[in-house]
């Protein structure tokens, strides 16, 4: 099983550098605990993902499924479907994924960085603000189930 080790931050959009073209994501959760989702990327690729418990580090199983099946699974979601644009920024040997959320989550901008192990320290770019890695309300599954966290 693959282990995902990831840090998540809120972003100050005014401090972002020029961004490369982004990918459009539609992300629908079928279950929150465990997190089971289907993701449609640029209306062309469908991915099925299951994630174990945890915040910074957790088991992740992901595989491609036929697009038509993915689109059908999106319709089965009992939660808010997340729509976002993801931009990937290479910085100091890591890829930072900057997400601009749309629809009910409009205005939320986050950045995530995956690490090869938990003991790796990563230099934070100046556009990241608050570290929300350990805040459950900022997990995408919780955003789908409960909406934006209260300020």
63: tokens are: 């595989």
130: three-class secondary structure by DSSP: strand
- Report d(CA 49, CA 54) in Å as an integer: 15
Residues 28, 73 contacting (CB under 8 angstroms)? yes
**Quick check: is 29 catalytic?**
yes
133: tokens are: 């890695």
Which of 25, 29, 101, 138 is catalytic? The answer is 29
* Burial bucket for residue 118 (CB in 10 Å: 0-12, 13-18, 19+): exposed
Catalytic residues: 29
């Amino acid at each position: 099983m693959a282990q995902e080790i990831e840090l998540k931050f809120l972003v100050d959009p005014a401090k972002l550098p020029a961004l490369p073209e982004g990918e459009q994501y539609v992300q629908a959760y079928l279950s929150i605990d465990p997190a089971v989702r289907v993701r449609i990327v640029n209306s062309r690729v469908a991915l099925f993902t299951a994630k174990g418990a945890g915040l910074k580090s957790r088991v992740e199983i992901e595989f491609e499924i036929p697009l038509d099946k993915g689109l059908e699974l999106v319709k089965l979601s009992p939660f808010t479907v997340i729509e976002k644009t993801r931009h990937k920024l290479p910085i100091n040997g890591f890829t930072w994924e900057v997400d601009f959320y749309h629809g009910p989550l409009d205005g939320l901008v986050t950045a995530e960085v995956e690490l090869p192990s938990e003991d790796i320290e990563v230099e934070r770019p100046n556009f990241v603000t608050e570290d929300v890695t350990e805040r459950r309300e900022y997990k995408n599954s919780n955003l789908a189930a409960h909406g934006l966290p209260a300020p």
